[in-house]
Amino acid sequence: MLALAGYADRLSARPGETLNFKLSNSTGQPVDAHIVRVISADPNPAGPGIREEAVPVELSQLDVGTHPVAQGSYAIADLGNALADLANFSLLLTLMPTRLPIDGPATVIAMLAPDDQGLRVALEPSGSLSVSLDGQSATTALLQLNRWVDLAVDFNASSGELNVRIKPVQLNSRWSTVSVAVNANSAAMSAATLLIAGGPPERLAITFDGRIENPRLYDRMLSDAERDAAYQSDQHQATPVFAFDFAKNTSTSEIIDTGPRQIVGNLVNHPTRAVRSSRWTGHEMCFRHAPDEYRTIHFHSDAMTDCQWPTALSWQVPDDLKSGCYALRISAGDEADNIPFFVVPPKGKPTAKIAVLVSTFTYTIYANHARPEFRLSTRWAKAWREQITQWPAYQHNPADHPEYSWSTYNDHLDGSGISVSSWHRPMLNIRIGYITYHGPEIRASGLRHYQADTHLHTWLEDQGYDFDIITDQELHDEGNGLLKDYAVLLTGSHPEYHTRDMLDALEQYRDTGGRLMYLGGNGFYWKIALDPENSGVIEIRRGEGGIRAWAAEPGEYYNQFDGEYGGLWRRNGRPPQNLVGVGFSAQGNFVGSHYIANDDARASRAGWILDNVDDNTFGGHGLSGHGAAGFELDRADKALGTPSHAVILATSEGHEPEAPWVLVPEERLTHLTNVSGESEPELIRSDIVFFETPDNGAVFSVGSITYCGSLLTNNGDNDISQLTKNVLNRFADPASKFEMPD
């Protein structure tokens, strides 16, 4: 763990609202804290550098101690006195281990008294199951990873015999039984706690990696016929003490007991729900249509969506504080950290004509991305460390700190993709001064997301524009009501992840006179779902298509949080071209190139955009890859929704020599043909597009992640800056008119 680290309970707040900062400090020194307004988060000394303004607010020294990070997802339920009269019993469940534990036995299921005595089923590091009761333990044969087995644990109080049976879930398989004599004549206990897949660290509960299905307990021993029937259809005469159906309430953190007691348990650290069970047939791909085939939860020992640290500092945003990017800077001894957040204007009271949409959902999806280059290449990691020391830059890399859990661009320890992310933890790559890429091969600052977006904020500040900051959260919550009073809405460099409500709001804004400037690349690409119970917890299912770090399993493309089909917005019938005229087409290394104005661009009705841009070749410079068109490129495509009246002003070129460019997978049909009919080289491009929308609205899109990095070249006196000012000035002018051509 870092000696000093923290996070905020929210990423944005309005004047008068309170931010709660959660801190952990093992330095033994008091924590000094102050608030700054962040203008630039780029540590590159050849760029704007880190630029901040102190906020005149007095914060006292904080007495902050060390707080642990408890990883691992599990379920916990209070059984009360349900086991008080338990003598004979049968416990049934189905499980599929996906990774063997390393540090000791991993709890599969346990029923424990307050002194932690009781029944415990655990997966051993060897791969066997151990079942213990009253100090006696029976051990099964080895289980295979990624293979389902049925488990039955029977206890005969009169003989004191504990029988453990396992059977692979396949046709004609047979039960394998081990027995052990137990001294107890009863399994009864009062005030029992049920733990599934793990538990709180104080209960010595190492978390199980794998899937668990349909755990149920009966207060008598089932016959062989009843046991077999229970695994086939649940149609038998025995009444359960509890029977948890994991297919119920999948959008929540609850597990539901369908037995007579209707016990409700709780899930910790968001295990993955809406996943295939052992009896999945493939006849249905949506868990809502065949719940009996999705009665499973996938638990992970490295999952963590809330550190649950106590609040160290509560700060009420002053009523007169300007909308913008801010951070809490903290220090203790030789250690320091910073925690960025955003102040949005009072609800319904914009303070400027221009709004910048900050992609906080995208930031959260990428939070603590442990890049493969850093993890797999010692040379790469060494060069990164040298770079941050030379500048200097933020010192910590997520790859070094798995304790804070990684991003949805990483895998869990069992190899399955991480599908849920949260901002309720330190997010090391969302820090002032963090660099993603290093060295001469990436050219210049090597920033992404939060830090790269401050290139736009710095440019706006330096050019004298007044602007409000709004974030994804407000857009999702308030829709077009948040946007309607702004003349212009600007995006940052990479607005990739969106909910349905967000896209609806952006479309409504665009089609009711709003003027939208999309200044990034790979935007409006993935569909996400938000946890209905906990703000700041976001789900992504990486379904069919798309450039992605992992692929969801068949039958698991639907979100657990909202039950909707996940994956690409394009596969949900809403390609980015339909919103902003361009959409993701190709990806390469973090290297930029230039644009060339199209032959008829200056003579078109959008020719004013190129006013005072002297050369037809422009943008071959910048702090992101030394070029305005780079890394991830979006292109126009009328078949995907680019309006027929859209003007393509310029197209990028020069990508092939610099990077191993690839098309997005959804473009390919065969090794020879693509969906659009264009050749692969033709599709590796970024298009700058303009089009008018109803009620005097308009859209301007640049289709490149590295575009904003070119705004600051030569202190903002350059072709990309001039072009962007041309658009922003006219878009912000209420007297300007945009009429859709006939």
Mean pLDDT of 623-641: 96
pLDDT digits (tens, 9 = 90+) for 522-572: 999 999 999 999 999 999 999 888 999 999 999 999 999 999 999 999 999
Decide if domain 74-299 falls under CATH 2.60.120.680: no
Mean pLDDT of 352-364: 98
Q: Is the pLDDT of residue 14 over 80?
A: yes
Q: Is 372 helix (H, G, I), strand (E, B) or coil?
A: helix
Q: Residue ranges of the alpha helices (H) in 241-321?
A: none
Q: Is the pLDDT of residue 703 over 70?
A: yes
Superfamily of the domain at 354-732: Class I glutamine amidotransferase (GATase) domain (3.40.50.880)
User: What pLDDT, on the 0 to 100 scale, is given for residue 234?
Assistant: 58
Please report which confidence band the pLDDT of residue 191 belongs to, taking 50, 70 and 90 as the band edges: confident
Q: Which pair of tokens denotes residue 688?
A: 């700058």
Please report which confidence band the pLDDT of residue 739 belongs to, taking 50, 70 and 90 as the band edges: very high
Mean pLDDT of 176-193: 86
Q: Is the pLDDT of residue 658 over 80?
A: no
pLDDT digits (tens, 9 = 90+) for 371-407: 998 888 899 899 999 999 999 999 999 999 999 999 9
Beta bridge partners of 244: 257
| Residue carrying structure tokens 């690839």 | 662
Does residue 318 or residue 174 have the better pLDDT? 318
Global pTM reads 0.96
User: What pLDDT, on the 0 to 100 scale, is given for residue 680?
Assistant: 86
User: What pLDDT, on the 0 to 100 scale, is given for residue 716?
Assistant: 97
Share above pLDDT 90 across residues of the chain, in percent, rounded to a whole number: 85
CA–CA distance, 658 with 651 (Å, rounded to integer): 17
Q: Where exactly are the structural domains of the chain?
A: 4-69+320-332, 74-299, 354-732
pLDDT digits (tens, 9 = 90+) for 148-184: 999 999 999 888 899 999 999 987 888 999 999 888 7
Mean pLDDT of 31-43: 97
Question: 289 exposed, middle or buried (CB, 10 Å; 0-12, 13-18, 19+)?
Answer: exposed
User: What pLDDT, on the 0 to 100 scale, is given for residue 237?
Assistant: 66
Are 97 and 209 contacting, i.e. CB atoms less than 8 angstroms apart? yes
Are 330 and 313 contacting, i.e. CB atoms less than 8 angstroms apart? no
Please report which confidence band the pLDDT of residue 112 belongs to, taking 50, 70 and 90 as the band edges: very high
Amino acid at 320: D
Please report which confidence band the pLDDT of residue 67 belongs to, taking 50, 70 and 90 as the band edges: very high
**What length does the chain have?**
742
- Fold equal for 74-299 and 354-732: no
Are 708 and 724 contacting, i.e. CB atoms less than 8 angstroms apart? no
Are 83 and 241 contacting, i.e. CB atoms less than 8 angstroms apart? yes
User: What pLDDT, on the 0 to 100 scale, is given for residue 116?
Assistant: 87
User: What pLDDT, on the 0 to 100 scale, is given for residue 139?
Assistant: 94
Q: Is the pLDDT of residue 657 over 60?
A: no
pLDDT digits (tens, 9 = 90+) for 115-125: 888 999 999 99
User: What pLDDT, on the 0 to 100 scale, is given for residue 349?
Assistant: 96
Please report which confidence band the pLDDT of residue 43 belongs to, taking 50, 70 and 90 as the band edges: very high
For 605-724, where are the E strands, in sequence order?
617-618, 629-635, 647-653, 662-663, 687-693, 697-701
Q: Is 46 left (phi over 0), alpha (psi -120 to 50) or beta?
A: alpha
